[in-house]
């Protein structure tokens, strides 16, 4: 890509004035995303290199919805004035972004080297066995999703499993059923908040 | 005094005023570590519990402080208790119940909870502690065993163990050209005095006057405070720590990472202020070049050269980037630094930006590190508030703003050109270099990218001088390196040692060796880009060049210890699975080559390999190494090639004999029942998930090999060791 003056590129990114349906497209895109994110995108567009904030925007969208749907990505593309192909290209390139909804509790097994040599492979086998799902899948009751993480950076506590934001250090395969039950109990006590 | 230094002095005065705890020497201080792993181990709960206890006691002379992590992961959470006039006591693995004991028995009662002190025998709370510098440059002074000299003198004076204890520490960083080989240094705690001693008579005087008489020997006292002093004062009695040299981690576990004033209190931003006061970017570049500081992200490129390259580029717009996309599995130094001492990284960036003439900078941090992101955000906001970021910093006319950009889980983004693409909002794919980023980087402008640890070292270089820094390391590489020690080692955690320390010193001296009396098989350095170094090379000095010679790399600092239970083929497969998965797909050798290599390794570990698979694997590995576009691909075959070189017999056992010597590769393991030991308890048969074990109660059982899925359940449940794993 040829390097352009930031200001010049900013002008080029402005919505074309000749299309008549921009207002409708914009309204539809804004309706698909929560107001703070719409405001954040507008703010990005006022800054230098607005397209460079694409990853931050996708982080926020996923933070809100838990995943990125085609509709969300399309809305981001319109509002940030970045081609939809680029948005989906970025979303599919990075492991962090998910294109399907996830379970209430996302189980993240660390498969870093330290965890691996301390037996994370056995934990994975047990988790897959107990849940009946593979990595990247969600149980049919929508309760658990299973994911592998590269390294959570808490190698001293290996092997580590995360349930959403809770870090469980030094987990043994025998503890797996107990942990799962704990979270099931917790879910039963606190029904999910309306989205 | 220049305007900049005057402004810095004002900031420093504000800091002293705000930090009432530093003036209140008579107060008792309790400090709790708080970082991602400390919190996972329960530090927040401990902090809350102490808060409750202090409130309930009604005492107003007890201060509760939060610091970050010291890097002693396996003992977390760690709590320090400092009672005026006493040696600081550290407790390991603190929980609620222990909080209560510490508070009632130690804080209120003055008696330490001896059985829970960090790494110490119960009788550890001695009156005086003498830490002598055990580094080569200091210790050579007296040809005799230094420690023994001390002990003999203590015995001659009938000073009991409870009165004084001798500890061998690592370099305090006091060595200067004029004293090398002529003097040694001793830190006496809790008085916090460092003596420089030339001969045995000096030693006698210290023991007589200080230890017995309680008076400081002013004649021998070293006036300056060395960099390691604060750290040794707090942690010097712990073997894991006192054999380290803390430079990049100088403040981790000492200061509150969310308080700019504490950083300023420990000379923070003084190096920046001095550089701005001189107003000579070329001088900064010269200093950094002379220090022999090399890039700590793994490449080892001299930082000074990189800066000089960007500084001499024409153009108004330049950028500085901190690479905090720490993706290597098993490495967590950068996270710990960002969580424990974010200001020093920011100061390093500011100095770098000034040196190359950048006015905007980015910190590219992994999204997986929420606490590091929060702390850096907080630190940037505090810097802005106190005029250390933004327009006209400290009245110098130099302006800089820093911004955080989040990664999104792509290992390849640690490669600098891929990282730049990611900041630009694109797919993080690398491009061909040259042009290097220092020439054409972010948005086509000259850009300097350095690792977190590199930046953390920069303020020290300016503060203590490049000669001092260069002297700490080896001939071509100055300073220290932080390693994340993990795997089959007793003490896991962060280890900072001078460049050139041996692997043996790190794994056995600091890490405490392999648990369970097992034999060390290999040390893996450099993450998925590095190689496995076999036990016979343990005396290799750790440096960029020497590790390259034994087929590994320094890398960013991950260090995984493996014992005899680890199968090297399986480890090679593990790393290749990682590299294969993280291959961005841009160039063919990496995308296709790693895939084919992985297929061969899968064949080998599942017992389906062809006779020429090893030759094919090696040839392919060399090809991928030569032909790939970026560092990820070029380094991806390293774990395979190095294990093929040093552990070829293990590969051959898999290929020709179809066995796994470490019994790790499931498909090659065979379970059998020893008829001599089996008592027919039926435990194995009842637990077998595929019911492939037959035999009546009290009769010898048998495993049907055709149906066995090799889950190992029978092996686990047998209480008579009758199930054999072959």
CB B322 within 8 A of CB B361: yes
State mean pLDDT over B153-180: 73
CA distances from A161 to A111, B7, B557 (A): 9, 48, 23
Of B72, B408, B423, the CB nearest to A96: B408
Pairing relation of β-strands B493-498 and B520-525?
A: unpaired
Chain A touched by B443 (CB under 8 Å): yes
Question: Distance, in angstroms, between A18 CA and closest chain B CA?
Answer: 28
Shortest CA distance to A155 belongs to which of B511, B445, B320, B454?
A: B511
Q: Which of A63, A93, A123 is the last residue of a domain?
A: A93
pLDDT confidence of residue A192: 62
Q: What is the per-residue pLDDT across B295-333, written as a single tens digit (0 to 9) for each?
A: 998 889 999 999 999 999 988 899 999 999 988 887 889
Mean pLDDT over the full length of chain B: 88
In a domain, A180, yes or no: yes
- Please provide the DSSP assignment of B365-396 as one string: E-TT-HHHHHHHHHHHHHHHHTTSSBSSGGGS
Beta bridge partners of B558: B484
Residue A156 CB-half CA count within 13 A: 29
Distance from chain centroid for Cα B696: 56
A85-113: buried (b, 16+ CB within 10 Å) or exposed (e) per residue? ebbbebbebbbbbbeeebbbbbbbbbbbb
pLDDT confidence of residue B291: 95
Residue B49 burial class via C-beta count within 10 angstroms: exposed 0-12, middle 13-18, buried 19 and up? buried
Pairing relation of β-strands B319-324 and B164-169?
A: unpaired
pLDDT confidence of residue A49: 93
In a domain, A1, yes or no: no
Mutation site, A10, A62, A80, A114, interface B, largest B CB count within 10 A: A114
Residues of B (69-128) whose Cβ lies below 8 Å from A: 72-74, 76
Asked if B73 lies within 8 A of A156 by C-beta distance, the reply is: yes
Ordered structural domains, chain B, with CATH: 26-83+88-116 (3.40.30.10), 128-236 (3.40.30.10), 260-327+334-443 (3.40.50.11540), 480-566 (3.10.20.600), 569-657 (1.20.1440.230), 670-725 (3.30.70.20)
| Residue with the two structure tokens 């900049």 | B4
More confident: B166 or B226: B166
Beta bridge partners of A146: A107
Q: Which of A62, A93, A124 is the last residue of a domain?
A: A93
Count CB neighbours of B586 within 10 A: 17
Residue A84 sits in the same domain as residue A110: no
Count CB neighbours of B162 within 10 A: 11
Residue B48 CB-half CA count within 13 A: 6
What CATH number does the domain containing A150 carry?
A: 3.40.30.10
Question: Poorest-confidence range of A43-47, B4-8, B99-103, B240-244?
Answer: B240-244
In a domain, A15, yes or no: yes
Tell whether omega for the bond before B672 is within 30 degrees of 0, i.e. cis.
no
Question: Distance, in angstroms, between B394 CA and closest chain A CA?
Answer: 26
Q: What is the per-residue pLDDT across B593-612, written as a single tens digit (0 to 9) for each?
A: 999 999 999 999 999 999 89
Question: Count of domains in chain A?
Answer: 2
CA distance B172 to B719: 53
Q: Strands, E, within B301-375: which ranges?
A: 319-324, 360-365
Question: Distance, in angstroms, between A112 CA and closest chain B CA?
Answer: 5
Shortest CA distance to B5 belongs to which of B287, B269, B183?
A: B269
Q: What is the per-residue pLDDT across A81-122, written as a single tens digit (0 to 9) for each?
A: 999 999 999 999 998 898 988 888 999 998 888 888 888 988
In a domain, A99, yes or no: no
Span between the terminal Cα atoms of chain A, in Å: 41
Residue A66 sits in the same domain as residue A126: no
In a domain, A100, yes or no: no
In a domain, A63, yes or no: yes
CA distance B260 to B341: 10
State mean pLDDT over B577-596: 94
CA distance A6 to A16: 18
% of chain B exceeding 70 in pLDDT:
94
Of B328, B330, B408, the CB nearest to A94: B408
H and E: helices and strands count for chain A: 9, 4
- Please provide the DSSP assignment of A17-43 as one string: SS-S-HHHHHHHHHHHS-HHHHHHHHH
Asked if A150 lies within 8 A of B411 by C-beta distance, the reply is: yes
Q: What is the per-residue pLDDT across B678-691, written as a single tens digit (0 to 9) for each?
A: 999 999 999 888 88
Count CB neighbours of B688 within 10 A: 22
Question: Poorest-confidence range of A41-50, B62-71, B520-529?
Answer: B62-71
Pairing relation of β-strands B28-33 and B79-82?
A: antiparallel
In a domain, A194, yes or no: no
pLDDT confidence of residue B664: 87
CA distances from B335 to B74, B283, B327, B367 (A): 17, 31, 11, 11
Residue A122 sits in the same domain as residue A57: no
**Domain of A112?**
105-189
In a domain, A195, yes or no: no
CA distance B479 to B248: 9
Q: Which of A47, A71, A93 is the last residue of a domain?
A: A93
Residue A89 sits in the same domain as residue A111: no
| Residue with the two structure tokens 């001599």 | B676
Residue A130 sits in the same domain as residue A160: yes
Count CB neighbours of B1 within 10 A: 9
CA distance B718 to B44: 41
Pairing relation of β-strands B28-33 and B62-67?
A: parallel
Residue A119 sits in the same domain as residue A58: no
pLDDT confidence of residue A2: 46
pLDDT confidence of residue B122: 45
Residue A10 sits in the same domain as residue A87: yes
Mutation site, A153, A170, A172, interface B, largest B CB count within 10 A: A153
Residue A20 sits in the same domain as residue A80: yes
* Orientation angle between helical segments A70-80 and A22-32, nearest 10 degrees: 130
Pairing relation of β-strands B480-487 and B319-324?
A: unpaired
Residue A86 sits in the same domain as residue A109: no
Structure ipTM: 0.83
Shortest CA distance to B37 belongs to which of B66, B75, B64?
A: B75
Question: Distance, in angstroms, between A108 CA and closest chain B CA?
Answer: 11
Residue B536: pLDDT over 80: yes
Residue A169 CB-half CA count within 13 A: 19
State mean pLDDT over B536-547: 91
Chain A touched by B574 (CB under 8 Å): yes
Pairing relation of β-strands B520-525 and B532-534?
A: antiparallel
The token duo for B533 is 């170094």
């Amino acid at each position: 890509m040829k390097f352009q003056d930031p200001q010049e590129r900013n002008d080029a990114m402005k919505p074309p004035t000749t299309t008549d349906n921009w207002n409708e497209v914009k309204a539809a895109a804004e309706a698909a995303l929560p107001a703070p994110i719409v405001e954040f995108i507008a703010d990005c567009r006022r800054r230098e290199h607005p397209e460079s904030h694409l990853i931050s925007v996708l982080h926020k969208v996923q933070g809100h919805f838990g995943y990125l749907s085609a509709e969300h990505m399309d809305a981001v593309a319109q509002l940030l004035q970045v081609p939809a192909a680029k948005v989906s290209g970025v979303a599919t390139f990075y492991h962090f972004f998910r294109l399907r909804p996830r379970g209430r509790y996302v189980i993240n097994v660390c498969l870093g080297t330290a965890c691996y040599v301390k037996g994370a492979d056995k934990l994975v086998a047990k988790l897959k066995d107990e849940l009946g799902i593979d990595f990247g899948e969600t149980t049919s009751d929508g309760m658990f999703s299973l994911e592998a993480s590269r390294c959570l950076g808490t190698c001293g506590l290996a092997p580590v499993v995360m349930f959403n934001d809770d870090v469980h250090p030094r987990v043994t395969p025998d503890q797996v059923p107990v942990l799962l039950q704990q979270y099931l109990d917790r879910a039963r006590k606190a029904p999910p908040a309306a989205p | 005094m220049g305007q900049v230094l005057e402004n810095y002095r004002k900031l420093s005065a504000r800091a002293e005023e705000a930090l009432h705890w530093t003036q209140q020497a008579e107060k008792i201080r309790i400090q709790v570590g708080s970082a991602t792993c400390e919190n996972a181990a329960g530090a927040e709960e401990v902090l809350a519990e102490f808060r409750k206890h202090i409130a309930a006691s009604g005492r107003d002379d007890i201060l509760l402080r939060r610091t970050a992590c010291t890097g002693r992961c396996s003992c977390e959470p760690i709590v320090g208790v400092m009672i005026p006039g006493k040696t600081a006591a550290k407790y390991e693995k603190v929980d609620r119940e222990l909080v209560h004991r510490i508070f009632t028995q130690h804080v209120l009662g003055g008696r330490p909870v001896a059985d829970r002190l960090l790494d110490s025998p119960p009788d550890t709370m001695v009156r005086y502690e003498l830490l002598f510098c055990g580094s080569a440059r200091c210790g050579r002074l007296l040809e005799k065993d230094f420690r023994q000299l001390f002990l003999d003198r203590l015995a001659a004076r009938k000073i009991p163990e409870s009165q004084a204890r001798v500890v061998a520490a690592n370099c305090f960083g006091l060595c200067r050209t004029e004293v090398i080989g002529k003097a040694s240094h001793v830190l006496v705690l809790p008085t916090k005095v460092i003596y420089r001693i030339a001969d045995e008579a000096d030693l006698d005087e210290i023991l007589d006057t200080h230890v017995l008489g309680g008076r400081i020997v002013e004649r021998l006292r070293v006036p300056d405070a060395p960099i390691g002093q604060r750290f040794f004062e707090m942690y010097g009695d712990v073997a894991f720590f006192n054999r380290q040299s803390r430079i990049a981690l100088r403040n981790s576990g000492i200061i509150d990472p969310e308080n700019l004033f504490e950083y300023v209190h420990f000379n923070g931003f003084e190096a920046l202020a001095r550089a701005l006061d001189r107003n000579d970017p070329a001088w900064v570049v010269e200093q950094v070049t002379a220090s022999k500081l090399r890039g700590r992200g793994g490449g080892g490129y001299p930082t000074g050269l990189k800066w000089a390259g960007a500084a001499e580029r024409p153009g108004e717009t330049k950028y500085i980037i901190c690479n905090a996309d720490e993706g290597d599995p098993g490495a967590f130094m950068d996270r710990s630094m960002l969580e424990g001492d974010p200001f020093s990284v920011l100061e390093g960036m500011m100095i770098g930006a000034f040196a190359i003439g950048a006015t905007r900078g980015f910190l590219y941090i992994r999204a997986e590190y929420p606490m590091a992101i929060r702390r850096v955000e907080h630190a940037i906001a505090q810097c802005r508030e106190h005029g250390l970021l933004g327009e006209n910093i400290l009245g110098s006319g130099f302006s800089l703003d820093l911004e955080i950009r989040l990664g999104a889980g792509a290992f390849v983004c640690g490669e600098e050109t891929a990282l730049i693409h990611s900041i630009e909002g694109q797919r993080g794919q690398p491009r061909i270099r040259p042009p290097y980023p220092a020439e054409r980087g972010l948005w086509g402008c000259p850009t300097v990218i350095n690792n977190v640890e590199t930046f953390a070292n920069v303020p020290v270089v300016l503060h203590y001088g490049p000669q001092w820094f260069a002297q700490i390391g080896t001939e071509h590489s100055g300073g220290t390196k932080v390693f994340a020690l993990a795997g089959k080692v007793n003490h896991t955690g962060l280890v900072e040692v001078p460049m050139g320390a041996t692997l043996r010193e790190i794994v056995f001296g600091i890490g405490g060796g392999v648990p369970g009396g097992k034999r060390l098989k290999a040390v893996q350095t450099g993450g998925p880009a590095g190689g496995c170094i076999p036990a016979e090379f343990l005396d290799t000095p750790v440096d960029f060049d020497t590790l390259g010679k034994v087929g590994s790399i320094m890398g960013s600092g991950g260090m995984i210890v493996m014992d005899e239970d680890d199968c090297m083929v399986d480890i090679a497969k593990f790393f290749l699975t990682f590299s294969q998965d993280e291959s961005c797909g841009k160039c063919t050798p990496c995308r296709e080559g790693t895939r084919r290599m992985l297929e061969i390794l899968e064949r080998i570990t599942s017992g389906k390999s062809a006779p020429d698979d090893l030759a094919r694997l090696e040839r392919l590995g060399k090809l991928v190494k030569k032909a790939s576009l970026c560092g990820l691909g070029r380094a991806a075959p390293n774990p395979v090639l190095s294990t093929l070189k040093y552990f070829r017999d293990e590969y051959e056992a898999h290929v020709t004999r179809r066995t796994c010597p470490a019994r790790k590769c499931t498909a090659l393991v065979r379970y059998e029942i020893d008829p001599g030991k089996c008592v027919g308890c039926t435990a194995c048969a009842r637990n077998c998930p595929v019911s492939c074990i037959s035999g009546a109660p009290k009769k010898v059982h048998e495993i049907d090999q055709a149906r066995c899925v090799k889950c190992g359940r029978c092996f686990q449940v047998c209480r008579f060791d009758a199930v054999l794993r072959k």
